[in-house]
Structure 1
């Protein structure tokens, strides 16, 4: 499948994300003659175990992430970050977990916005919102290079595209920038050929960064 990078908006110190930044980023994509193709949505859920007997606590992962991706509607991705494990399951696993009541959803975040086509690239720009809330938590961008699925072969093309993109965005003098933090996929047992599991791991990394950013802002306040 095509390779993609998942980036998050890193606000400048002392600033926060707001909907005006999303509007500016969207306008920047459209200034590249990006063709709007419709909406997209991914969801990350943070699960905690419901342990009835403390003696069993060591048998359960302390927490894990569940990720629903728009390109794989029949799949659900589970990530245990401490052990560097990523699993692909049938989407029905969510109902099974609910019935078993072994894990409880603590927090869910929606990543949603618009999708654009720019030649061989597909861009998705989206807000990060808690479920049932309009309280903006962050901004994400997916950059997908459609012709290639090898991460190493596509790296130079992706870096060149991002250089052009960052230059265009910098002209708008926004209080921050998009960051790409590539996880160590090998730690998760993932190879060079790109898969949806790579995307899930990237979203887990982005979520960790978003939480760290929110905590840093709260600490300053």
Structure 2
């Protein structure tokens, strides 16, 4: 695989996220010669430990994120942000966890949208949904296929992102995409990009989305 950036939509103060912004972002991808290649989907689960004895609470991470990504359908990734741990497991681990009753999925976020090819780049633009609920956010995966080095790809990723931002700015939308790069070395990850890097980025984006939603709620109150 190449190198990915996972970005999220940051609305301007006092504005909300809506499907029109997502539609405009998809149209923007096509306006810079992106060829639509179909749909994509990723899922993130927020787990909490099932504690039979409060005395054992310290033994379990309070927050465990489980992530599945389309390029590795048989794998499942766990991120423990507090301890800076990322793990790869088989997809069947979810069934094992249910049977062991060690952790329970408290919240699921679905990321789904359209995929576009732009030369050596792939763009995936999609919405963030809670089950049976309305739009909660917008995310974008930006992937450069020829390089798998986080460091060596940074300049070309920044240049492509500038082109994207310039094209999107012409649409006068109430916000912008931002990229918050985690410190991958904190998680023991090397410069060579892997799906574990993607999992860490999604966990970062989830926390950014929660912070954005909380800030919006505070403004409305």
Relative to the length of structure 1, the TM-score reads 0.98
The match for 1:174 is: 173
Gaps of 5+ in 1: none
Residues 55-204 of structure 1: matches in 2 within 5 Å?
Answer: 55-133=55-133, 135-204=134-203
CA distance in 2, matches of 1:49, 1:169: 42
Q: Which secondary structure does the structure 2 equivalent of 1:140 belong to?
A: strand
1:15 paired with 2:15, answer: yes
Q: How far does the alpha carbon of each residue in 1:151-203 deviate from its partner, in whole angstroms, 9 at most, with x for none?
A: 11111100000111100000000000000000000000001100000000000
Q: How far does the alpha carbon of each residue in 1:127-154 deviate from its partner, in whole angstroms, 9 at most, with x for none?
A: 0000233x10000000000000001111
1:35 paired with 2:17, answer: no
CA distance in 1, matches of 2:90, 2:132: 25
Shift of 1:39: 0.6
Relative to the length of structure 2, the TM-score reads 0.98
CA distance in 1, matches of 2:187, 2:150: 15
The match for 2:25 is: 25
Q: Which secondary structure does the structure 2 equivalent of 1:78 belong to?
A: strand
Count of aligned pairs: 220
Cα RMSD (Å): 0.7
